[in-house]
Amino acid sequence: MNLSRVGAIVLRMYYLYRGSPQRVFPMFAWVAVDIVLWGFITRYLNGVSQSGFNFVPTLLGAVLLWDFLTRVMQGVTMAFFEDVWSRNFLNLFATPLRTSEYLLGLVTASILTSIVSLAFMMALATGLFGLSFLSYGPALVPFLLVLFISGMALGIFAAGLVLRLGPASEWLIWPIPTLISPFAGVFYPVSVLPAWMGVIAHALPPAYVFEGMRAVIRHKAIPWSDLAIATGLAAFYVVLACLFFASVYRYAIRTGLIARYSAETVT
Amino acid sequence: MSPPSRPSSLAPVLKVERLSKSYGALKAVDAISFEVAPREIVGLVGPNGAGKTTTINMVLGVLAPDGGKIEIEGVDLKTDRTRALSAANFAAVYAPLPGNLTVEQNLRVFGMIYAVKNLSARIDDLLKEFELERLRRTKTGVLSSGEQTRVALAKAMLNAPHLLLLDEPTASIDPAMARTLRADIEAFAKRGCGVLWTSHNMYEVEEVCDRVLFLSRGRILLQGKPHELVAEHKAKSLEDLFVAVAHETLHGEGAA
């Protein structure tokens, strides 16, 4: 692993963001819309509910955490798409750059952009709607860790999918978080799901996070063992996603797909 | 341009042995073997579809051969891709650098990928060499095609490669700049770099290349020094020879 090569991928993303407000804008805009929308929904629910239940940490917190996972995934895929759109694969992969260095570069770039988004979301949710992250206690750290690793796995998987199916498959990957969210129990306990959905939910690391989040809010003990399972599952999916990407990369090298991303002919 | 730091060894910088690649039933490259020595410029020519780009892509490690072996500086590309490609670089008309980065940013990113030492100084030298200083902070995508070619060549020189692969390097630049670039590349080769040069401009190939490989239907039909090939086949020029070989190939008669 050569850190200079990893740094090159990160530096490239920094240059792109530095000179492009249109790339920076989505880091704040869409999360702000989500926070404001769900902030008012929770405020309304708190007003009409007779139970005295505080919806802010349950719903608004869930939105924030789910947006974080989405941001991490999109951070990886957006960095990958920069190479798709600029038809840069031939330039990149005809160099000493290893696929592991390339992926680590994409993930590192994603860490930086998603942390900025997270900080902004937290500031907005706390400032406007009084969401206190202290209510999650020390569990917030594993929550974010599991979601981060899960987002990373989704991002790498999505990048592999686009590399395999071509740039036109872009539309396939954006809805991935939306497709997962009903199973992940973002806004409701997994117990309300039908049995078959529950089985899928237990294979999804984010489901453990949102279950854990609701447990913490109800002043129950932090489910450390569940969070450990979630971390293990998320790490497993990252390994699977990397293997998938590596397999697609080998296929692309064997068939000339990598070269075709830059030139339409291979002979 | 700073010289590549290569030893005075005569071992080939590129050794290709029985390289093959098929796409289904089509044999794009059919068991070709050749070498490029240090300080040698080898022209890889042939009609469209002859297998030139396929060969270059295999040497660049972006296309896996079906058979055969590629060694760069004695390092097997298959077993140690990273080390082999650290000694090579390329420029191709069909692989423009990202247009959304400035010239300097592109050179810095690729300089880091090649782990170039004293990168800032190296970039300054190359910008000066390729007359790109005033375009340093210009987005590469808005440059003219000739300027983009110069940036691609500057990128190709970043790591002072021992093997340089050039696919139509002067295709989109004016004759004056093309002449300057040819002189630059010849000077670069004289300092120890081996160059594999693909072009359809036979005058350029005749002028620049020490040796020419005529590729057709994935096979090397002819090879030798340009003027010797012209004399041997009683052609008026390399271009006439190219046309004759391409015509014979097209009609399935083969060549000598």
Q: Are B194 and B37 in contact (CB under 8 A)?
A: yes
Arithmetic mean of pLDDT, A240-260? 91
Q: What ipTM goes with this model?
A: 0.86
CB spacing of A266 vs B28 below 8 angstroms: yes
Cα distances from B186 to residues A167, A261, B94, B158, B196, in angstroms, run 39, 31, 23, 16, 12
Backbone φ and ψ for A185, nearest 5 degrees, come out as 60, 45
User: Cα(B195)–Cα(A201) distance, rounded to whole angstroms?
Assistant: 57
pLDDT tens column, B181-194: 888 888 889 988 99
pLDDT exceeds 50 at position B254: no
Arithmetic mean of pLDDT, B35-39? 94
User: Cα(B130)–Cα(A206) distance, rounded to whole angstroms?
Assistant: 53
- Closest chain B residue by Cα to residue A82: B98
User: Cα(B121)–Cα(B148) distance, rounded to whole angstroms?
Assistant: 21
pLDDT tens column, A92-142: 999 999 999 999 999 999 999 999 998 998 899 989 888 887 777 888 888
Structure tokens at A36: 């404001």
Find which of A82, A95, A253 to mutate to test the B interface (most B CBs within 10 Å of its CB): A95
Helix pair angle (A140-165, A176-184), 10° resolution = 140
CB spacing of A5 vs B112 below 8 angstroms: yes
pLDDT tens column, A175-187: 899 999 999 999 8
Residue with tokens 């989500």, as numbered in its chain? A34
Q: Are B117 and B84 in contact (CB under 8 A)?
A: no
In terms of Cβ atoms closer than 10 Å to its own Cβ (0-12, 13-18, 19+), residue B141 is: middle
Structure tokens at A258: 């990598």
Which of B28, B64, B105 has its CB closest to that of A253?
B64
Which of A97, A256, A266 has its CB closest to that of B113?
A97
**Predicted pLDDT of residue B248:** 67
Q: Would you give the DSSP letter of residue B139?
A: B
**Predicted pLDDT of residue A214:** 87
How far apart are the CA of A242 and the nearest CA of chain B, in angstroms? 19
Task: Using alpha carbons, select from B219, B198, B172 the residue that is nearest to residue B53.
Answer: B198
- Closest chain B residue by Cα to residue A83: B98
Length, in residues, of chain A = 267
Q: Is the pTM here over 0.90, yes or no?
A: no
How far apart are the CA of A167 and the nearest CA of chain B, in angstroms? 16
Length, in residues, of chain B = 256
Those residues whose C-beta lies under 8 Å from the C-beta of residue A153, and which sit 6 or more positions away, are A234, A237, A238, A240, A241
CB spacing of B53 vs A82 below 8 angstroms: no
Helix pair angle (A205-217, A140-165), 10° resolution = 160
Which of A2, A90, A266 has its CB closest to that of B95?
A90
User: Cα(A166)–Cα(A216) distance, rounded to whole angstroms?
Assistant: 43
Q: Are B198 and B44 in contact (CB under 8 A)?
A: yes
How far apart are the CA of A95 and the nearest CA of chain B, in angstroms? 6
Q: Are A151 and A111 in contact (CB under 8 A)?
A: no
